Amino acid sequence: MKILVLNSGSSSVKYALFEDDKQISNGLVERVEDHLATIKEILGNIGKVDAVGHRVVHGGEKYKNSVIIDSDAIETIRDLISLAPLHNGANLAGIEAVAKLYPDITQVAVFDTSFHQSIPDFAYTYAIPISFYEQHKIRKYGFHGTSHKYITNEAGKFLNIAEQNLNLITFHLGNGDSVCAVKNGKSFDTSMGFTPLEGLVMGSRCGDIDPQILIYLAKQKGLSVDEIDKILNKESGLKGICGSSDMRDIEAKAQNGDKLALLALDIFAYRAKKYLGSYAVALGRVDGIVFAGGIGENSPLIRMKILQDLEILGIEIDEQKNQVRSREPFEINTENSKIKILVIHTDEEKEIAKQTMRLAGDN
């Protein structure tokens, strides 16, 4: 079965072509102005496919799983644009372009949020007046779900533990960063919230801060809503602290003694360590900690900074194993560590292809 995976962003379209579960090609079109023309060109180049799987950022509370796209799904994705204005609109443009060009192709939507729909109410409800949830659906949704789900599956296979018994703490550390507490194979809590701004320190997003800071900036400093939005999403995080959002650059600067780069690394790792501790307590038992994403997979330094001095949890990292580089899953804990520590290459496109094949195959 030939599956095209599409990630239609506001100004770019990423694609990957799968023959069953093997990726055979991929590509990225940038500076996209017209999704229809771009997707026509992509489909023209790769030829006929059996199904198309779309990354869709927001599935709201309706989608606990991936779905075959029909007119009802299109309307729901459209309704959810208000919750993810930058993403869902572009995702929908991709879906509508394929529908227009090839009305008979089965299309599947795979949502970043759906893995997290298992989070219990006491973990997803914010302590603000309940009417904001009831009327405006303001709650934690969580994102990066496709990646957390994929690495949960891979960790289960590696550890040889059935998913329904598997408790993990999964870190997806890239430009955007999130951590998920996985209980019995399902998401129990995650660091991103109503939007992907909450939680860990990211490339240019602040993660958790005192919300009163926003009010202070508006009232005392006269900043507009748009200015605050830009500061928190584009000018904060690692970039806000040391001027760079790229972990490789920051590590290089820190090696040369740059104080702000060193501080950025400490802040990043300390925030991650605090989430690790709170999720270990929330889960009660942890079988494994997993690192994925550009930073999680490639930075022994960050892994070490997050995991060192965690005897309280029985975590022991093996310095030698931590230096290994591989696309295959590997273990970086010592023999004595009470919790396994794994590095797993995440593959969101492969997960989307898998889900698409499952649903389109049944169709």
> Which of residues 8, 117, 190, 299 is near ligand ADP by CB under 6 A?
299
Q: Integer distance in angstroms from the first to the last C-alpha of the chain?
A: 13
Check binding of 233 to ligand ADP (CB under 6 A).
Answer: no
> Which of residues 163, 208, 251, 318 is near ligand ADP by CB under 6 A?
251
Contact 64, 117 (CB under 8 A): yes
Check binding of 298 to ligand ADP (CB under 6 A).
Answer: yes
112 is known as an active-site residue: yes
Q: Closest separation between CB of residue 342 and ligand ADP, Å?
A: 17
Q: Which one of 30-38, 78-86, 181-189, 290-298 is the stretch in contact with ligand ADP (CB under 6 A)?
A: 290-298
Q: Closest separation between CB of residue 352 and ligand ADP, Å?
A: 14
Contact 69, 54 (CB under 8 A): yes
Which distant-in-sequence residues (6+ apart) come within 8 Å of 176 by Cβ?
143, 144, 192, 196, 202, 203, 205
Q: What residues from 30 to 89 belong to the interface with ligand ADP (CB under 6 A)?
A: none
Check binding of 9 to ligand ADP (CB under 6 A).
Answer: no
Check binding of 248 to ligand ADP (CB under 6 A).
Answer: yes
Backbone phi, psi, residue 282, to 5°: -65, -35
Check binding of 246 to ligand ADP (CB under 6 A).
Answer: yes
Q: What residues from 175 to 214 belong to the interface with ligand ADP (CB under 6 A)?
A: 175-176, 203
The CA-atom distances, in angstroms, between 319 and each of 9, 129, 148, 216 are 39, 48, 25, 44
d(CA 173, CA 182): 16
Number of residues lying near ligand ADP (CB under 6 A): 13
* Comparison of 176 and 193: residue with beta carbon closer to ligand ADP: 176
* Comparison of 96 and 349: residue with beta carbon closer to ligand ADP: 349
Contact 355, 66 (CB under 8 A): yes
In the set 70, 79, 112, 309, the catalytic residue is: 112
Residue 158's CB is within 10 A of a number of other CB atoms, namely 18
DSSP states along 69-104: --HHHHHHHHHGGGTSTTTHHHHHHHHHHHHHH-TT
Q: What residues from 137 to 156 belong to the interface with ligand ADP (CB under 6 A)?
A: none
* Run of H or E including 119: none
* Comparison of 53 and 174: residue with beta carbon closer to ligand ADP: 174
CA-wise closest residue to 58 among 14, 13, 90: 90
* Comparison of 93 and 295: residue with beta carbon closer to ligand ADP: 295
CB closest to ligand ADP, residue no? 294
Question: Catalytic residue positions?
Answer: 112
Residues lying near ligand ADP in the complex (CB under 6 A): 174-176, 203, 246-248, 251, 293-295, 298-299
